[in-house]
């Protein structure tokens, strides 16, 4: 089995590495985290428009580069070397991954906005009582017309200070710690009923507590 990168994947790696070498020093990272908005929207714009890497794992018909998990790995490795704080993992890998494999009618529109750098997604799954048990959920989702109403409290939401959307896990059935009955929802962070609080981590990154009360959501992706 050949584990070598293709020519296109090698070019993607070199392009990302070259950009970060020229534009993302540790001092630049540290300065960005100390001042509002505590990330670099100009870098995110370059990822979308100059490098095109926000479309790396998406199909060409959606406006992406036609790649997949390997392209994500290539990009993530280079971002990790530079300690990049911009939310590629939450937006492209996690958010984009959910949307690609969902039945949500608006998925292609949101993916298009991800590729254009207009939609930023954070994964709101952790809850204070759950620690590392992902299915331990007190957040609930109740059907309401064409959508759902979510009630609950999420914590340690990485990338949420910059996000436009949240991927939220909520219980639609079963008991609090059962693996069955957990659904996933796409919630606009600006939706009525969503309140948030930012706080710093020891590495100077910023996380967010997201408290959703009577927040309306798109149907389960």
108 lies in the same domain as 127: no
CA dihedral for 126, 158, 190, 180, sign (positive or negative): negative
148 lies in the same domain as 95: no
**DSSP string across 117-144:** T---EEEE---TTTTT-TT----EEEEE
11 lies in the same domain as 106: yes
40 lies in the same domain as 56: yes
211 lies in the same domain as 173: yes
156 lies in the same domain as 199: yes
- Domain span at 47: 7-115
- % of the chain residues with pLDDT over 70: 91
Using the 3D structure, point to which of 64, 87, 115 is the last residue of a domain: 115
pLDDT at 212 over 70: no
When pLDDT is cut at 50, 70 and 90, the band that residue 67 belongs to is very high
Domain containing residue 14: CATH number: 1.10.540.10
Using the 3D structure, point to which of 68, 94, 115 is the last residue of a domain: 115
Residue 3 CB partners (closer than 8 Å, separation 6+): none
Query: Between vectors from CA 9 to CA 55 and to CA 95, what angle results, nearest 5°?
Result: 30
pLDDT of 217? 59
100 lies in the same domain as 22: yes
pLDDT at 6 over 80: yes
Helix (H, G, I), strand (E, B) or coil at 108: helix
**Structural domain tally of the chain?**
2
- Using CA atoms, how far apart are residues 132 and 136, in angstroms rounded to an integer? 9
110 lies in the same domain as 47: yes
Domain containing residue 176: CATH number: 2.40.110.10
69 lies in the same domain as 102: yes
- Give tens-digit pLDDT for 17-54: 999 999 999 999 999 998 889 899 999 999 999 999 99
Residue 113 CB partners (closer than 8 Å, separation 6+): 119
When pLDDT is cut at 50, 70 and 90, the band that residue 204 belongs to is low
Report in angstroms the alpha-carbon separations of 77 from 43, 68, 104: 17, 15, 30
Using the 3D structure, point to which of 96, 115, 134 is the last residue of a domain: 115
When pLDDT is cut at 50, 70 and 90, the band that residue 215 belongs to is low
106 lies in the same domain as 134: no
- Give tens-digit pLDDT for 163-201: 999 999 999 999 999 999 999 999 999 998 998 888 877
Task: Indicate yes or no: pTM above 0.85.
Answer: yes
Q: What integer is the mean pLDDT of 192-214?
A: 71
Size (the chain), residues: 221
Instruction: Report if residue 2 sits inside a domain.
Output: no
Instruction: Spell out a b/e string for 129-152, using b for 16 or more CB atoms within 10 Å of the CB, else e.
Output: ebeeeebbbebebeeeeeebbbbb
- Using CA atoms, how far apart are residues 104 and 194, in angstroms rounded to an integer? 21
When pLDDT is cut at 50, 70 and 90, the band that residue 81 belongs to is very high
pLDDT of 141? 95
pLDDT at 208 over 80: no
């Amino acid at each position: 089995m050949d584990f070598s990168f293709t020519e296109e994947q090698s070019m993607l790696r070199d392009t990302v590495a070259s950009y970060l070498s020229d534009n993302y020093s540790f001092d630049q990272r540290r300065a960005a985290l100390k001042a509002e908005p505590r990330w670099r929207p100009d870098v995110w714009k370059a990822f979308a428009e100059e490098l095109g890497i926000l479309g790396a794992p998406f199909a060409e018909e959606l406006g992406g580069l036609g790649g997949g998990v390997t392209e994500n790995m290539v990009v993530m490795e280079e971002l990790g070397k530079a300690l990049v704080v911009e939310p590629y993992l939450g937006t492209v890998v996690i958010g984009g991954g959910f949307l690609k494999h969902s039945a949500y009618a608006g998925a292609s529109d949101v993916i298009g906005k991800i590729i254009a750098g207009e939609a930023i997604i954070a994964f709101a799954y952790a809850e204070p009582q759950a620690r590392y048990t992902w299915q331990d959920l007190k957040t609930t989702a109740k059907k309401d017309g064409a959508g759902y109403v979510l009630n609950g409290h999420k914590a340690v939401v990485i990338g949420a200070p910059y996000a436009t959307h949240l991927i939220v896990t909520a219980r639609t059935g079963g008991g609090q710690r059962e693996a069955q009955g957990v659904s996933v929802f796409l919630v606009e962070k600006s939706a009525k009923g969503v309140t948030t609080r930012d706080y710093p981590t020891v590495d100077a990154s910023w996380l967010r507590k997201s408290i959703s009360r009577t927040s309306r959501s798109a149907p389960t992706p």
